[in-house]
Structure 1
Amino acid sequence: EPPEGGWGWVVMLAAMWCNGAVFGIQNSCGVLFVSMLELFGGGEDKQLSFKTAWVSSLSMGMVFFCSPIVSIFTDLFGCQKVAVTGAAVGFAGLLASSFVSTIEPLYFTYGVLFACGCSFAYQPSLVILGHYFKKRLGLVNGIVTAGSSLFTVSLPFVLRVLIDSVGLCNTLRVLCILIFVLFVAGFTYKPLVSDAKDKEGEKKGKFSPGKKICNFSVFKVVSYRIWAFGIPAALFGYFVPYVHLVS
């Protein structure tokens, strides 16, 4: 049974920081968008606006596009290793983004590298909560997801001040601090089950190793199919205002 507390509260705070850092930066892309336009060219260039919007669009999309892959890696290697590795990759991508001189390299450094790192750091932060909480899981999930709202509300104001003071490149380097803290926070995701017990459980399991990694039998459940396809449909236009409705 999950301990329902103890070290779990530390894990909850780490997961809250993860949600805040990842989605605070992603949802503040409107501020970064305007700064990128000013840095890389005139704001009247419609083609440049389109190219710049693609940076944030690609980044936001990759965070969720990688989710199935991250889930497999989390099952194979555990929450701690995946989260720490993801944060390290995200840190490298964000730091590299601060040194570019044109918009195109940002497609890889910010749109792919940073976003994939965020995805690998974010997914385990949700999975690990179920290891430490069961009865209080709803409350804990609510507190963790509140982290994204707190950062989303406050970070744009901080970014505006930083960009006006030190410029976009140095602002991205300051944001690296958030990701570095995320890297450290990943070490709190201590597994509760030893490797020996994991291996013993695998031997007793009814699924083959291949099906444990990728098992589509759950799609036979009608309610799950409705949920699995309904949520993406509902979120289809969710992030459009963040990226494309910047005045």
Structure 2
Amino acid sequence: MTSGGNTNSAVPGAVVPDGGWGWIIVFASLMIHFIMDGITYSMGDVFLRPMMGNLNKTRGPVSTIFGILPAITLATGPIATIFTNTYGCRKVTIVGACLAAAGFLASYFWANLWFYYLAIGIIGGLGFGLIYLPAIVSVGFYFETKRSFAMGIAVCGSGLGTLAFPAVMPYIINAPLWFDYEGALLLEAAVIFICVIFGALMIPLPQEPSEIRRVERKARAEAKRQALKAGAATSLNNEQQGPLLPTNRE
């Protein structure tokens, strides 16, 4: 996977693949953008009127649901950065996908405006925020000379998703199989959960901050273990030599 790559100057011995498994990462990022942005930027068009009718609310309060979602997604950026640097792209993406899917799943069970603010807007937005950053950052770790091209392909998913979801979701909402828009929310929860698979594809590289921290923690733990071992050996040696001292004086 690393053959033919470029050496990363920031981390001695680390190699940027510039291809190989990196293209799988690009595909995973593209699909994450396809799902996440496709859902985010189509909800107002797809769910506004059905929710207005079911909740018996005007356009403004219902539209707020679709405003909270991207707002929380983008506001989560600093938190997602800390988590990504600490735990890595893979773990953060998986947790974010589970969180967002849980929010959309919860909205299926109770049709209430304020609950939608919480479940779709806040919980879903937090999950999307944890997905969004690693989907971009992971591509950068795998590419050096082709980074711009790879990222360009990855973010194409946003446009494709924004095009596809508004075209497909109305048919799903109106299909006899589903119970109005709640069934579509349940389906979107399942689609969001698929991002767990794409997150699992983000194999960490040595130059990721989380991997650097992991190696440092391992080195510190090993040094501490060696120090304790050396201290125990010294203590045992002193105990063994202690009884001999009076004999030597005699």
Identity, in percent, stands at 27
1:148 and 2:162 matched? no
1:33 and 2:43 matched? no
Which SS does the other structure have where 2:206 is aligned? coil
**Equivalent residue for 1:18?**
32
**Equivalent residue for 1:116?**
126
Q: By how many angstroms is 1:101 displaced? A: 2.0
Q: Distance in 2 between matches of 1:129 and 1:176?
A: 25
Q: Distance in 1 between matches of 2:119 and 2:70?
A: 13
Could you report, residue by residue, the CA deviation over 1:59-88 in whole angstroms, capped at 9, with x for unpaired residues?
110000010111111111111111110100
Which SS does the other structure have where 2:149 is aligned? helix
**Closer, same or farther: CA 163–199 of 1 in aligned 2, 3 Å:** closer
Q: By how many angstroms is 1:28 displaced? A: 0.2
**Equivalent residue for 1:134?**
144
Q: By how many angstroms is 1:139 displaced? A: 0.9
Q: By how many angstroms is 1:199 displaced? A: 5.0
**Equivalent residue for 1:8?**
22
**Equivalent residue for 1:186?**
199
Q: Distance in 1 between matches of 2:103 and 2:117?
A: 10
8 Å CA contact 2:204, 2:211 repeated in 1: no
TM-score of the aligned structures, taking structure 1 as reference length: 0.76
Q: By how many angstroms is 1:201 displaced? A: 6.2
**Closer, same or farther: CA 57–109 of 1 in aligned 2, 3 Å:** same
Q: 1:78 aligns with which of 81, 85, 88?
A: 88
Larger gyration radius, structure 1 or structure 2: 2
**Closer, same or farther: CA 3–119 of 1 in aligned 2, 3 Å:** same
Name the Cα RMSD after superposition.
2.0
- Name the amino acid aligned to 2:132: Y
Q: Distance in 1 between matches of 2:211 and 2:96?
A: 25
Could you report, residue by residue, the CA deviation over 1:120-147 in whole angstroms, capped at 9, with x for unpaired residues?
0111011111111111111111111111
Structure 1 stretches (4+) deviating beyond 4 angstroms?
Answer: 194-197, 199-202
Q: 1:171 aligns with which of 162, 173, 184?
A: 184
**Closer, same or farther: CA 52–196 of 1 in aligned 2, 3 Å:** closer
Q: By how many angstroms is 1:37 displaced? A: 0.9
- Gapped regions of structure 2 (runs ≥ 5): 1-6, 8-15, 218-250
- Name the amino acid aligned to 1:108: L
